[in-house]
Chains A and B, each alone.
Chain A
Amino acid sequence: MTTEAVAVSSEVYDNRVAFADELIELAEHDDRVVAVCNDSVGSSNLVGFRDRFPDRLINVGIAEQDMVGVGAGLANAGMIPFVCGAAPFLTGRSLEQIKADVAYSQLPVILCGMSPGVAYGELGPTHHSIEDLSWLRALPGLDIVIPADRAQTRQAVRQAVEHPRPTFIRVGRFKVPDLPQQVLERGRFQTMRDGVDVTIIAAGTAVSRALAAAERLEGDGFSARVLNAAYLNPLDEAAIAAAANETRAIVTAEEANVSGGLGAAVARIVLEQPAPARVPVEMLGFRDFAPTGSAGFLLELAELTEAGIARAALNALQR
């Protein structure tokens, strides 16, 4: 995998814009596409969709359990509902609806968790969504997609319409750069860069930082592989096993609580490997409710930075 052709962009973008643009484009050609929201027309960036398709924007008000159930009913009726709400409330308030009405019922509802992770910064832990990956990863039959940039966000939306199935898409608000072009493939990590010493498996906002950390490690004489964990369910167990068998250490980096998200997922697969491949795993992410601070500040505090990820890689290699 070469990455010379296109570099990481210097500009950064809000993935919600790409999400909404793609959704409108798809809705033009497919009248099954509807959006459901919880008074989040603005924060889910659905103003354009509403103006274009007023009948196909179902705003249930501030009622997340209802919102997810309504989404399931719309799917039952043959529509393709994109259920949009701030990730903490969409996942936390309606977790049982996501479990029973969507995942267990196997209805093709596309749950769009807006502004996930610590995007809401100073608004505090009530508004952070760092538990979502732990909660949702426990649900069989629910795809979990964490697009790392605008292009992947668009691909995630398009694939949801082309192959509707129960899905959670984390739609980032914290601005990220465009990455070297990657094809989003269900259940696969993308190899952003190959390496032989250490593997960095990063998701969402951490991917561009992981690439920068790999550059820094190269300067220190270490070769780092970087995997973009754009799908957490289904999990790319083969890529994790390969990382454990082909490199000497693994770092995971996610804007989530490490207890049940990407880090825990990777650790399980590593522990299932034969002894020599049970390599050290360093998990970057959150371990507590976050203190007051901007999203950028909190990512730094969690070491989810170029320097922090590189440091974790060196630590892992020395263990």
Chain B
Amino acid sequence: MTEQSAHQLRTAPAQRAEWLAARQAIAVADPSERDQILHRWATRTRRSVVSMIDAARQGHIGGDFSVTDILTTAYLVALDVDPAQPRAEHRDRFILSKGHCAAALYSTLAFAGFFDPGELSTFMKPLSPLNGHPNRNKVPGVETNTGPLGHGVPVAVGAAIGAKLKGESGRVIVVTGDGELQEGSNWEAFMTAAQYGLDNLTVVVDRNRLQQGARTEETNHLDPLDDKFAAFGWNVEQIDGHHYGQLADALTRPSGGGRPHAVIANTVKGKGVSFIEDRVEWHHKVPSAEQVKQALEELV
């Protein structure tokens, strides 16, 4: 048996056009209009996540919802990427280190036109390219295969060093979970990033304060997380990870002083659906039919 998929995913031109139009609208919008557009796109992603997880009867809904606004802002405001040329040489790189939140990433990529949103219904179905964790060779727009935790930051550091060696101005944005920071490989990479002065690298921590089994601070505490980044030689800021203005600013502002940039995005796991928000059991619980209905009613 060889690893294979039913079909190849390809750029969706009409969807890409819609995405480009939204980006252009945001570029000239006032903050309130911008927030409305971003909210609309994020809500569509959250609704898509509900449908995907409902159909697959598995997934990671809590983390999908905490990272959705970060993903939406990154792709509509910050990243210089082209869904028609996902491997273009001079692109920005985006890496979702918390690969278990693939449903949110796939929805974001599909709504940007990297592939047809119609494919989202195959999520985790037999031979679907949309595995439970993202695969760069099957899903356009995915830079590296994640799933095991603590892998994204070292790869992002390598990509940022590579961009500097080639004299490119491209940036690398990597999103990690907060529980994921318990993996030591991240801290190896944080040191390397500072050593190499990677001011083209931004690490966004999806700080929802919950991990699979309990609260992060009750498991292996991370605070004071900002002090830790600062001690490692990073520029660090804390933002509200659901505030589009703060996200847009943090994800587009260049890091100064030859230092890499850490954005601690304080988020709510399960954001957007009342009965899922900030509850540990919704790490990978699957909603019932009634709960799906209620979730979709709230996500407007």
Q: Which residues A19-67 have CB closer than 8 A to chain B? A: 34, 36, 55-56, 58, 60-61, 63, 65-67
What chain B residues lie within 8 Å of A66 (beta carbons)?
154, 157, 185, 188-189, 191-192
- Number of A-B residue pairs with CB-CB distance less than 8 Å in the complex they form: 115
Is chain A's binding surface mostly helix, strand, loop or mixed? helix
Closest B residue, CB atoms, query A76? B159
Q: Are A77 and B154 also in contact (CB < 8 A) when A66-B192, A70-B192 are?
A: no
17 contacts between A and B (CB under 8 A): A56-B165, A60-B192, A66-B191, A70-B161, A70-B189, A73-B156, A73-B159, A73-B160, A73-B161, A76-B158, A77-B162, A77-B163, A77-B166, A78-B166, A79-B165, A105-B135, A106-B136
Contact yes or no, B162 A79, CB < 8 A: yes
Asked if B297 lies at the interface with its beta carbon under 8 angstroms from chain A, I say: no
Asked if B137 lies at the interface with its beta carbon under 8 angstroms from chain A, I say: yes
A73 vs B3: C-alpha distance when bound (angstroms): 23
Asked if A81 lies at the interface with its beta carbon under 8 angstroms from chain B, I say: yes
Closest A residue, CB atoms, query B89? A78
Interface-lining segment among A93-101, A128-136, A144-152, A173-181: A93-101
Asked if B9 lies at the interface with its beta carbon under 8 angstroms from chain A, I say: no
Pick from B136, B148, B154: contact of A73, CB under 8 Å: B154
What chain A residues lie within 8 Å of B209 (beta carbons)?
none
Contact yes or no, B158 A105, CB < 8 A: no
9 residue pairs, one from A and one from B, having the closest CB atoms? A73-B158, A69-B154, A77-B162, A66-B188, A63-B188, A70-B158, A73-B159, A65-B185, A73-B155
A36 vs B162: C-alpha distance when bound (angstroms): 12
Asked if A72 lies at the interface with its beta carbon under 8 angstroms from chain B, I say: yes
- Point out residues on A near B: beta carbons under 8 Å: 34, 36, 55-56, 58, 60-61, 63, 65-79, 81, 96-97, 100-101, 104-107, 140
Closest B residue, CB atoms, query A79? B162
Interface-lining segment among B11-19, B57-65, B138-146: B138-146
Contact yes or no, A104 B154, CB < 8 A: no
Q: How far is the CB of A282 from chain B (nearest CB, A)?
A: 32
Q: Which residues B162-205 have CB closer than 8 A to chain A? A: 162-163, 165-166, 172, 184-185, 188-189, 191-192, 195-196
What chain A residues lie within 8 Å of B148 (beta carbons)?
96, 100
Asked if B93 lies at the interface with its beta carbon under 8 angstroms from chain A, I say: yes
Closest A residue, CB atoms, query B174? A73
A74 vs B166: C-alpha distance when bound (angstroms): 10
A69 vs B148: C-alpha distance when bound (angstroms): 12
A106 vs B137: C-alpha distance when bound (angstroms): 8
Asked if B270 lies at the interface with its beta carbon under 8 angstroms from chain A, I say: no
A101 vs B152: C-alpha distance when bound (angstroms): 9
Contact yes or no, A76 B93, CB < 8 A: yes
Q: A66-B188, A71-B158 are in contact. List 13 more A-B contacts (CB 8 A).
A: A63-B188, A63-B191, A65-B184, A66-B189, A66-B191, A69-B189, A72-B154, A72-B155, A73-B156, A73-B157, A73-B161, A81-B158, A105-B144
Q: Are A140 and B184 also in contact (CB < 8 A) when A69-B154, A78-B166, A97-B151 are?
A: no
What chain B residues lie within 8 Å of A96 (beta carbons)?
148, 151
A221 vs B139: C-alpha distance when bound (angstroms): 60
A55 vs B159: C-alpha distance when bound (angstroms): 15
Asked if B153 lies at the interface with its beta carbon under 8 angstroms from chain A, I say: yes
Q: How far is the CB of B8 from chain A (nearest CB, A)?
A: 15
Q: How far is the CB of A228 from chain B (nearest CB, A)?
A: 28
What chain A residues lie within 8 Å of B93 (beta carbons)?
76-77
What chain B residues lie within 8 Å of A60 (beta carbons)?
188, 192
Q: How far is the CB of B32 from chain A (nearest CB, A)?
A: 38
Contact yes or no, B145 A105, CB < 8 A: yes
Asked if B86 lies at the interface with its beta carbon under 8 angstroms from chain A, I say: no
Closest B residue, CB atoms, query A103? B145
Asked if B258 lies at the interface with its beta carbon under 8 angstroms from chain A, I say: no
